Structure 1
Amino acid sequence: MQRSLFSKLLLASLAHGDDSITDAYFYRQSPWVDAPVAVGTGDWTNAFDRARALVSELTVEEKVNLTGGVQARNGCSGNIPAIERLWFPGMCLTDNGQGVRVTDFGSGFASGIHVGARWNKELAYQRGLAMGSGFHKKGVNVMLGPWLVP
């Protein structure tokens, strides 16, 4: 009798066990939030005008390449290809965290959580400045870093 009850409970738990595999089970799905529409006013007027002019000259294939990127064996985690006819030089995106990843002659830095635990703004600033300098010297355009989502 007990073995039968145990078997039924075990079977029931296995049947419903997949509910707890995702975070959505515990935290529920975040509500949809529309992206803000940027209008490019004030100090950003010139930048937005230049961006609109560039995008209006792009072909569909070039737009796809800009948003999807390409694979290249250059040490970058992500690559946005150059568009020579529009004088767009392309971009190298590389993982961040403790410094430039997969490279030689790079510096390693303390994790951001450890720097934050010091409550020292100057230390955090100097770390960011040194990391940015290292990325710049390696030809990286965008430092990909840790991020959080709702």
Structure 2
Amino acid sequence: MNTLTRSRTTFQSSELSRSSAEVFAAAADHPVEVTRRDGESLVLMSGSADRARTNLLELAAQLVAVSTSTDGTLVRRMIDRFPWMLALSLADRETCANDILSAARASFATNQPHLAIAELTAWRETATAIAAGLGQEPVEWLDDSVVVERP
């Protein structure tokens, strides 16, 4: 299959039965619309793309709840929805809240769910690592002057 077929976003329903491999390959890369003469078009996408959209909608619901509340600061309202933020320092809580909101806005504006989900996951994993006590021991840096023989 050529890259032109893989980049297509619309297929006729007859192509789905005639050239299903091409349609499925395109749908594995991005959602594709399957048009039908006898009804509304359908969208075919990978399970991971569907899960990413679902996760983004769940995050959107949480952020709408945060933004419509008037109780406390933005960070306090975010902590109510994302209690794992309590493991972060005060400064990191502020940065986390702003980073998640910025990534969510970018996701919504570009229809790229992974931007917000990756940001949320990175901060949650950071908080989890901090809560587990990781990163508390001093870091031993290698001396920059050490020369390593090329293999």
| TM-score using structure 1 length | 0.22
Structure with the higher fraction of residues in helix conformation? 2
